[in-house]
Amino acid sequence: MKATRNTPERLILDDTPWFIGIAPARLILAFAGASLDAASTGGETLWFGLGFAAFCLFVRSVRVTLDRPGGSIVIRRQSVFGSSQVEHLLADLSRAEVESATSRSEGRTRTLFSPVLVLDGGLSAGRHPVVEAYTNGGGPHRLAEAINARLPASAAEAQTYGR
């Protein structure tokens, strides 16, 4: 996830998995071409279908907007199947954290991370994941730091932005 806009009034974070989208797209194009060129369409059509299914299932974009003047947090998710939008009050956000999960396979232990928003007040109090996937990179930590840096540091600042 990357900060595409970072001003005192607005923080916009985008996550568009380009690699995950390009790999199945290349598979789709390669096997579609092979299917058109081949006399029989047995195996090539299967690979085309698998590539298309992977593209549809794994390609999702997420945009998180923290809007101080509007006093809102908007989380937009888009995929091939449609889009959804969840809106929370910025005043209800207490902090961003990073959840971790441990994965063990073949004798190796890996720790994966995912950023979450912690809302202490309002109707949507609780922990809300920013993205639906866990990763082993430093992105979730940077995201949580960027969000926490946007939160009011003092009571005077909190009153200015309706917190």
- Read off φ and ψ for residue 129, nearest 5 degrees: -65, 140
By residue count, the chain amounts to 163
* pLDDT tens digits, one per residue of 6-22: 888 898 888 776 555 56
- For residue 78, list its beta bridge partners: 61, 83
Q: What share of the chain is helix, strand, coil (3-state, %, to 5)?
A: 35, 40, 25
Residue 26 pLDDT more than 70? no
* pLDDT tens digits, one per residue of 129-161: 888 778 888 888 988 998 898 886 533 344 444
Which is more confident, 43 or 121? 121
Lowest mean pLDDT among 32-41, 109-118, 129-138, 152-161: 152-161
CA distance 11 to 94: 16
- Kindly report whether the global pTM for this prediction surpasses the value 0.85: no
